[in-house]
Amino acid sequence: MGLEVVVEGLTKSFGRQTIWRDVSLTLPAGEVSVLLGPSGTGKTVFLKSLIGLLKPERGRVLINGVDMVNDPERKIYETRRLFGLMFQDGALFGSMNLFDNIAFPLREHTRKKESEIRRIVLERMEMVGLAGQERKLPGQISGGMRKRAGLARALVMDPQIILCDEPDSGLDPVRTAYLSQLLIDLNARIDATMLIVTHNIEIASTVPDNIGMLFRRDLVTFGPREVLLTSDEPVVAQFLRGSRQGPIGMSEEKDAATLAAEAALQLPRTRVPEIVPQLEPSPGMPERKAVARRRERVMSMLPTLPPPAQEAIVTSLLPRRRGASL
């Protein structure tokens, strides 16, 4: 099973510019979480801070008893091996074929024999639907295949935590749908904790157990998917609708005068899309172990959640008894 990730009071700045401040959340063990936010809100910086590649000024990131912010570099380096990181562009070496790209972490960080490396690489390539493609160069395959190759490379060290940085970037809607299903199937197979950074509403609506959102240097919300998907928080509703009306502007957040002018116009609000069912593993895949754990966890917090989220959660439990997923 994946590991729980506890983030407490995390604040990150570059010079005088605060990227985000006092971010606290918990990624439940083995569950899939999504972090949303407009472009430029520091989502990738957050991923790099979790894994210890960037140092926040304040706060803690606790994983298996290790603080990825404040502990000695030796402990952080050892804990970093528990992660698999899928980069936004795949980050493949253009001169290496897919097999060598995917094998790279094993050759760099382990003393495994080539026969064992070959077994692991081919198994991970099969897992992401790339069987038989090991001799192809990155320049010879599609963007979607490069994404899957990057995911296979993230899996070769048997990570307990997988971080995906905008896995949908550059993909068309059909390939994004295939990738979404692949991530759910992967969680069913290895039960790893997963955090996906994206601004894709389709992924956010169908893939995760939990959703958070960054805006104006703050974590607006983080919790069960139903909380954000039923939220009437202006910035959340605007983001889900893809509307120009709301706090998010073209470059930065809108100023108070612009928001007041919009309010005076009394523009009708576009309806927030209804909650669609969460994706289930493909036929032949094992059940996601996270489903039962999540159901117990969410039901224990149900009285503390907003009424619309409570209603959505209870409604989603009804079909669960006939085999669907919460």
Fill in the amino acid letter for 108.
E
Q: Which domain holds residue 246?
A: 232-272
Residue 148 lies in a domain: no
Distance CA(52)–CA(71), nearest Å, equals: 10
Q: Coil, helix or strand for 170?
A: coil
Let me know whether 78 and 13 are in one domain: yes
The reported pLDDT for the residue numbered 322 is 41
Structural domain contains residue 163: yes
Are 164 and 266 found together in one domain? no
The closest alpha carbon to 24, from 238, 221, 227, 239, belongs to: 221
- The rounded distance, in Å, linking the Cα atoms of 107 and 100 is 9
14 and 61, same domain (yes or no): yes
Let me know if residue 253 belongs to a domain: yes
Based on the domain organization, do 245 and 224 belong to the same domain?
no
Determine the average pLDDT of the residues in 178-200: 94
User: Averaged over 281-296, what is the pLDDT?
Assistant: 95
Query: What pLDDT score does 315 carry?
Result: 86
Confidence grade of residue 253 (pLDDT, cut at 50, 70, 90): low
Stated pTM of the model: 0.88
CATH code, domain with 76? 3.40.50.300
- Centre a 10 Å sphere on the Cβ of residue 37 and count the other Cβ atoms it contains: 23
Is residue 115 included in any domain, yes or no? no
In a domain, 165, yes or no: yes
**Phi/psi of residue 263, each to 5°?**
-65, -40
pLDDT at 267: 46
